[in-house]
Structure 1
């Protein structure tokens, strides 16, 4: 598998099978913006966590 990041970084890695490489490719090829605040560091993005909690309770 060969990958290139939007920032210009990239690399490659060999996997035992094409199916396994595909599994990892799908996991890495997704937008993380949808999870912002859910998988955020506990203290660094605490305001986002609180905002998400309030939105769930209000809505």
Structure 2
């Protein structure tokens, strides 16, 4: 099922979908990392923002 971009908020704010270019761009900018670093972090700890932030802080 496609991501419904008209339904944002809630769970969308707590997860990072690295398969959506706009999410990759926006989250990379917000977290201050490259798209490749963000992809690696999501692959390492999963898509939740909290886990990714914690992972990036320890690097």
Pick the structure with more helix per residue: 2
Pick the structure with more strand per residue: 1
Higher relative contact order structure (alpha carbons within 8 Å, sequence separation ≥ 6): 2
- Highest CA radius of gyration, 1 or 2? 1
Same fold at TM > 0.5 = no
